[in-house]
Copies of this chain bind each other. A is one copy, B any other.
Amino acid sequence: MQEDIEMEKFQITILGCGSATPSPKHYTSSQIVNIREKLFMIDCGEGTQIQLRRSKVAFARINHIFISHLHGDHCFGLLGMVSSFGLMGRTAPLFIHAPKEMEPLLAQELEFYCNRLEYQITFQGFDPFAKEIIYEDRSLTVETIPLKHGIPCAGFLFREKPLADHLDREMADFYKVPQWDYNRIKDGGDFVTEDGTVIPHSRLTKPAGPTRSYAYCCDTAYNPKMFDQIKGVSAIYHDSTYMETELVQAQKYLHSTAAQAAKTAAEVNAGKLILGHFSARYLNEQPILAEAKETFSNSILAKEGMEIDI
Contact between B72 and A113, CB atoms less than 8 A apart: yes
Closest to A23 in B: B53
Interface size on A, residues (CB 8 A): 28
- Measured between beta carbons, the chain B residues less than 8 angstroms from A87 are 20-21
Residue of B21, B47, B72, B108 touching A46 (CB-CB under 8 A): B47
A8 contacts chain B at the CB level, 8 A cutoff: no
Given A21-B87, A22-B50, A108-B108, 16 more A-B residue pairs with CB atoms under 8 Å apart are A20-B84, A20-B87, A21-B80, A21-B83, A22-B47, A46-B47, A46-B49, A46-B50, A46-B77, A47-B50, A72-B79, A72-B83, A72-B114, A76-B79, A76-B80, A76-B113
Interface residues of A in 68-113 (CB under 8 A from B): 70, 72, 76-77, 79-80, 83-84, 87-88, 105, 108-109, 112-113
A281 contacts the other chain (CB 8 A): no
Q: Which residues of B contact A20 (CB under 8 A)?
A: 84, 87
Q: Residue A138 at the B interface, CB < 8 A?
A: no
Q: Does A54 contact B (CB under 8 A)?
A: yes
Cβ of A196 < 8 Å from any Cβ of B? Answer: no
**Chain B minimum-CB-distance residue to A45:** B80
Residues of chain A touching chain B, judged by Cβ–Cβ distance below 8 Å, are: 20-24, 27, 46-47, 49-50, 53-54, 70, 72, 76-77, 79-80, 83-84, 87-88, 105, 108-109, 112-114
Q: Which of B46, B49, B105 meets A112, CB within 8 Å?
A: B105
Contact across chains for A72 and B76 when beta carbons are under 8 A apart: no
A54 to B23, CA, bound (A): 9
In the bound complex, how far is the Cα of B114 from the Cα of A251, in angstroms? 22
Closest 6 A-B residue pairs measured CB to CB?
Answer: A21-B84, A46-B80, A76-B80, A22-B50, A72-B83, A47-B47
